[in-house]
């Protein structure tokens, strides 16, 4: 277990999956990150790479050759190396190897860094193409937060705050895949969306192209909050595992699940990123608590 600390926060993570496991605020005395109770969902904040979401038949093609990956790829189940560690910053690294090339035939270097600044955890992803050909990939985050956050409150006492009024339309899922349909969550532009389990009756809400690219979890019952800001991410998923589940995920994504149908070439997959040899992809998001 690795621990970062400043005057406000204690943040822990592990080398397995380079996964955040705790965000504790010294002044509020609250733990904000989900504690991975396997009775509901046994992860805290997995990293999604080199795919986001589900592949049709867990299959994709590269130049006609079939490869197989589980939902959200393999990085969350691999052990990363710590390549930099300070009091308020750590950098994890995962490189392609024989095991990864069996399911993803590209050479790459993935670095994930966590940096503390006041009440905020800054998370950065660097993907470097170490191959001699163009590579294709997706990368995303999947942090889960305790909801309810404060004893004596319920899931329904909380709401999402998007920072500005948004036209909330979710991409509709057909099982684990996109159906191609879009559904309005609200009849008019809104900044706040009350949380109910019914919102997730068809699995995750998936928003594309938000204006503010931030989502906060707040409550009228108290002043505490979690805010996830993701300036350049094209998609964000909002998910909980079902009625009575005491957490909510806010998931910024560069990538998305397959549409229903047949497996496709990775280069043709919706939301896919590409990198030329020696090129580096960079993205970042932040988690602010209070």
Task: Provide the 3-class DSSP secondary structure of residue 227.
Answer: strand
The neighbour count for residue 225, using CB atoms within 10 Å, is 18
Distances (CA, A) of 90 to 23, 87, 112, 205: 15, 8, 8, 31
Name the band, by pLDDT with cuts 50, 70 and 90, for residue 218.
Answer: very high
Q: What are the sequence ranges of the domains in the chain?
A: 2-289
22 pairs with which residues across the strands?
A: 12
Band of residue 221 on the pLDDT scale cut at 50, 70, 90: very high
Give the confidence band of 188 by pLDDT, cuts at 50, 70, 90. very high
For residues 64 and 159, what is the distance between their CA atoms, to the nearest angstrom?
46
pLDDT-above-90 percentage for the chain: 99
Over residues 162-169, mean pLDDT: 96
CATH 3.30.1360.20 for domain 2-289, yes or no, is no
- Cβ atoms < 10 Å from Cβ of 262: 9
Which helix (DSSP H) or strand (DSSP E) does residue 91 occupy? strand 89-95
pLDDT at 231: 96
| Averaged pLDDT for residues 242-264 | 96
Quickly state the pLDDT bin for 285 (edges 50, 70, 90): very high
Q: How confident is the model at residue 262 (pLDDT cuts 50, 70, 90)?
A: very high
- Output the pLDDT for position 69: 97
Question: What is the reported pLDDT for 116?
Answer: 98
Taking alpha carbons only, the member of 128, 132, 143, 98 closest to residue 248 is 143
207 pLDDT tier (thresholds 50, 70, 90): very high
Confidence at residue 256, expressed as pLDDT on a 0 to 100 scale: 97
Across the strands, what pairs with 208? 235
pTM for this predicted structure: 0.97
pLDDT 10s digits, 90-138: 999 999 999 999 999 999 999 999 999 999 999 999 999 999 999 999 9
């Amino acid at each position: 277990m690795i621990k970062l600390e400043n005057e406000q926060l204690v943040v822990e993570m592990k080398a397995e999956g380079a996964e955040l496991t705790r965000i504790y605020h010294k002044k509020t005395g609250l733990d904000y990150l989900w504690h991975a109770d396997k009775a509901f969902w046994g992860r805290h904040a997995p990293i999604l790479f080199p795919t986001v979401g589900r592949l049709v038949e867990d299959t994709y093609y590269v130049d006609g050759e079939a490869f197989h990956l589980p939902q959200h790829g393999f990085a969350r189940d691999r052990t990363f190396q710590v390549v930099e560690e300070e009091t308020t910053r750590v950098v994890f690294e995962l490189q392609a190897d024989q095991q990864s090339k069996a399911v993803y035939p590209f050479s790459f270097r993935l670095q994930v860094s966590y940096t503390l600044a006041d009440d905020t955890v800054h998370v950065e992803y660097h993907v470097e193409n170490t191959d001699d050909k163009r590579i294709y990939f997706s990368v995303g985050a999947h942090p889960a937060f305790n909801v309810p956050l404060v004893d004596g409150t319920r899931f329904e006492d909380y709401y999402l705050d998007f920072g500005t009024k948004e036209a909330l339309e979710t991409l509709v899922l057909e099982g684990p895949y996109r159906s191609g349909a879009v559904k309005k969550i609200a009849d008019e532009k809104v900044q706040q969306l009350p949380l109910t389990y019914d919102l997730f009756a068809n699995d995750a809400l998936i928003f594309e192209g938000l204006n503010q690219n931030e989502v906060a979890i707040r409550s009228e019952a108290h002043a505490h909050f979690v805010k996830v800001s993701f300036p350049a991410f094209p998609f964000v998923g909002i998910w909980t595992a079902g009625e009575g589940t005491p957490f909510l995920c806010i998931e910024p994504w560069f990538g998305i699940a397959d549409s229903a149908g047949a497996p496709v070439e990775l280069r043709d997959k919706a939301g896919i990123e590409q990198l030329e040899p020696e090129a580096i992809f960079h993205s970042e998001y932040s988690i602010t608590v209070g």
